[in-house]
């Protein structure tokens, strides 16, 4: 019997590299243009605070989309949703390239948020393929590889901005988006067990998740842990440009330090999650982030801050998130395995929605003449909250075990 070619087989699970690039494009879209923000504000003739809202608005719409992406993928399949999302992403990217003013740019920038399906469904696909502990480990490896893309994203974005202007960043996203669409079409078969129910029936499953203390514990741990990173995304370009007087290329290069830490944390998560367990790994990750940010706050209060100190210590934030997030995401998905897509979308919406608020708040706190301290304190506060959230989950697990 003749074997069906892989690119025609719609039931073959994808290769890891496909999931890495799919999630990587989502992460790259969020951060490649960050070093260009001050220059884009000048180009469009608007205040930096307005241009910085391209981060917050993108995250806000991303959060809203994730509420429906999960249920839709549970109903119609991961493959179809991803292909449609990638096509819409390409259309939105063309719009950003030809935007005549800041308002039109922000509209198409928000539309780019549809690529969030890559982040949501890459996790759900992993959960479709393997069980809880293995899912945490595999998500760790996937996001470790994924982090290599945003690691160099701001570096490339800064160089492209200095050489060709901010448009070059979005031109690169257009080319990469087309390539990922071709790869998904050829390699990603359907992994979900389709549930023949309506979207409203899917949405009605939300109370089962929202009333679960475990779901909230894992979700809040992930939301607060990543919240400090989203605040960093919203405020670090201002700190680099206005506080430290760095160029776009220099800011982009220093952004890579956080991603290096994230890759190291992802490797640790992939290597030890099965052995150590999800809850302990989440606690370790949140503590690493909190200690690093506490040291940064103390050094800044002592007058020892500077670009090297500020950006170098964010390595610990990246490392802590790299350890925490794969396990927290696996924890969210383990509450109701049959609703992996829904849980991933709902949890992601809460996570990204909180990130949008924190990114916007960072922009408000960093007004004219501001130092880096408001941003550092905001990041530290959210990280401490992540520690409290996972301690609640651990305490709850012990109570159930003792009963």
pLDDT at 320 over 60: yes
pLDDT of amino acid 182: 92
Q: Does residue 201 sit within a domain?
A: no
pLDDT at 145 over 70: no
The domain spanning residue 226 has which CATH number?
A: 1.20.1250.20
Burial 270-306 (b: 16+ CB within 10 A, else e): bebbeebebbebbbbbbbbbbebbbebbebbeeeebe
**pLDDT band of 140, cuts 50, 70, 90:** low
pLDDT of amino acid 343: 72
pLDDT of amino acid 230: 82
**φ/ψ of residue 326, rounded to 5:** -60, -40
**pLDDT band of 172, cuts 50, 70, 90:** very high
- Residue by residue, what is the 3-state secondary structure of 50-94? HHHHHHHHHHHHHHHHHHHHHHHHHHHCHHHHHHHHHHHHHHHHH
**pTM higher than 0.85 for the full model?**
no
pLDDT of amino acid 84: 93
Q: Does residue 197 sit within a domain?
A: no
pLDDT at 319 over 70: yes
Q: Does residue 236 sit within a domain?
A: yes
pLDDT at 2 over 50: no
pLDDT at 340 over 70: no
pLDDT one-digit tens code per residue, 247-281: 878 887 887 788 788 888 888 887 887 788 888 99
Q: Does residue 105 sit within a domain?
A: yes
Give the chain's end-to-end CA distance (angstroms, integer): 57
Q: Does residue 199 sit within a domain?
A: no
**CA–CA distance, 168 with 117 (Å, rounded to integer):** 24
pLDDT one-digit tens code per residue, 39-80: 888 899 888 778 877 877 887 888 788 777 777 887 778 888
Cβ–Cβ under 8 Å, residues 323 and 268: yes
pLDDT at 352 over 80: no
Query: What range defines the domain where residue 383 resides?
Result: 14-190+206-402
Domains of the chain: total = 1
Cβ–Cβ under 8 Å, residues 251 and 237: yes
* DSSP secondary structure letters along 383-396: HHHHHHHHHHHHHH
At a CB cut-off of 8 Å and minimum separation 6, what does 171 contact? 97
Q: Does residue 5 sit within a domain?
A: no
Q: Does residue 165 sit within a domain?
A: yes
Average pLDDT over residues 119-132: 72
Q: Does residue 247 sit within a domain?
A: yes
Q: How far is CA 72 from the centre of its chain?
A: 20
């Amino acid at each position: 019997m003749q074997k069906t070619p892989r690119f025609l087989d719609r039931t073959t699970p994808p290769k890891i590299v496909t999931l890495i690039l799919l999630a990587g494009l989502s992460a790259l879209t969020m951060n490649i243009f960050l070093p260009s923000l001050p220059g884009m504000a000048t180009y469009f003739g608007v205040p930096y605070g307005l241009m910085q809202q391209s981060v917050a608005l993108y995250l806000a719409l991303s959060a809203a989309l994730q509420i429906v992406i999960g249920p839709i993928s549970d109903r119609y399949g991961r493959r179809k949703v991803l292909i449609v999302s990638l096509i819409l992403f390409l259309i939105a990217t063309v719009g950003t390239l030809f935007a005549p003013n800041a308002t039109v740019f922000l509209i198409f920038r928000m539309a780019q948020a549809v690529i969030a399906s890559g982040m949501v469904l890459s996790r759900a696909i992993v959960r479709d393929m393997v069980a809880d502990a293995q899912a945490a480990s595999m998500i760790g490896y996937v996001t470790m590889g994924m982090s290599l893309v945003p690691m160099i994203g701001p570096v490339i974005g800064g160089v492209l901005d200095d050489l060709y202007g901010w448009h070059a960043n979005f031109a690169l996203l257009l080319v990469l988006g087309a390539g990922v669409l071709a790869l998904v079409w050829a390699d990603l078969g359907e992994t979900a067990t389709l549930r023949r129910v309506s979207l409203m029936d899917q949405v009605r499953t939300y109370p089962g998740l929202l009333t679960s203390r475990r779901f909230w514990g894992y979700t809040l741990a992930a939301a607060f842990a990543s919240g400090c990173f989203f605040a960093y995304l919203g405020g670090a370009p201002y700190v680099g440009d206005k506080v430290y007087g760095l160029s776009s290329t220099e800011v982009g290069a220093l952004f890579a330090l956080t991603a290096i830490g994230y890759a190291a944390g992802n490797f640790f998560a992939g290597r030890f999650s099965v052995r150590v367990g999800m809850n302990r790994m989440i606690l370790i990750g949140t503590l690493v982030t909190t200690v690093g940010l506490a040291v940064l706050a103390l050094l800044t209060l002592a007058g020892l801050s500077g670009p090297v100190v500020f950006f170098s210590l964010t390595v610990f934030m990246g490392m802590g998130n790299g350890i925490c997030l794969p396990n927290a995401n696996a924890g969210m998905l383990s509450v109701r395995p049959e609703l992996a897509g829904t849980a991933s979308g709902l949890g992601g919406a809460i996570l990204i929605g909180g990130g949008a608020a924190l990114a916007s708040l960072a922009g408000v706190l960093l007004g004219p003449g501001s130092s880096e301290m408001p941003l550092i304190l905001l990041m530290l506060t959210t990280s401490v909250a992540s520690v409290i959230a996972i301690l609640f989950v651990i305490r709850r697990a012990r109570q159930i075990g003792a009963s």
